Amino acid sequence: MSCATVTILYPSGSDINFDMSYYLSSHMPMLLKSWKSYGLTNYTVSKPAEGPYVCICYLNFSSFEGFKKASEGPERKAIREDVQNYTNSKVVLVPAEVVGSV
């Protein structure tokens, strides 16, 4: 069983709003609490200086299977519904099995 990283991309644009304060203080702690039992070990949130994304988040899971279970679990509804509280950007998820790291 190998670990997994899920990259979450939030595209930017002139009509896009993103409340980083809410994201960091409310959404991400909720997500960690909800998905810790599925193997979510930590996350990293990045704010690009420029480019096509307003925010990039990396979720690290102890296994890819854990991520799959989390994304299908009953908590997902509340997590998805909370997105409207911090952005109107279309969320892009890129789940990946980690095959190498240093």
- Global pTM? 0.92
Q: What is the pLDDT of residues 60-86, one digit of tens each?
A: 999 999 999 999 999 999 999 999 999
Q: Which domain holds residue 11?
A: 4-96
What pLDDT is recorded for position 20? Answer: 98
What span, in angstroms and rounded, lies between the C-alpha atoms of 52 and 34?
29
Residues 6+ apart with CB under 8 A from 89: 10, 11, 12, 13, 16, 17, 18, 54, 55
One DSSP character per residue, 9-25 reads EEE--TT--B-HHHIII
Helix (H) or strand (E) holding 58: strand 53-61
CATH number of the domain residue 17 falls in: 3.30.70.100
Structure tokens at 5: 């990283």
Confidence band (pLDDT; 50, 70, 90) for 1? low
Tally of domains in the chain: 1
Q: What is the pLDDT of residues 10-42, one digit of tens each?
A: 999 999 999 999 999 999 999 999 999 999 999
Give a yes or no: residue 102 inside a domain: no
